[in-house]
Amino acid sequence: MTFVKAAVAAAVLVVANISFAADGSERSISQNADFRESQAALKQHREMHETLAKEGRQSDKTGSVQATN
């Protein structure tokens, strides 16, 4: 009878560890997805600023050319 109790207790611990590990991996996957989304948004924001800066430089050059004419 003691052997059966020990086996049941061990089985309960194994199932608990497996379910905890599965929960942790799901949480990790969702955190990774959030991280990827935030990185994509940051990249898009950076590209927008680079584009605006290039357009600003081009308009500055055009303005200086017009001023000298």
| Cα 47 from Cα 38, distance rounded (Å) | 14
| Cα 7 from Cα 1, distance rounded (Å) | 10
Q: What does residue 5 show for φ and ψ, rounded to 5 degrees?
A: -60, -45
**More confident position, 43 or 16:** 43
Q: What is the mean pLDDT of residues 22-41?
A: 75
Degrees (nearest 5) of the Cα angle 57, 60, 62? 110
pLDDT at 66: 56
Q: What is the mean pLDDT of residues 24-32?
A: 66
- Which pLDDT band, with edges at 50, 70 and 90, does 55 fall under? confident
DSSP state of 69: -
pLDDT at 42: 94
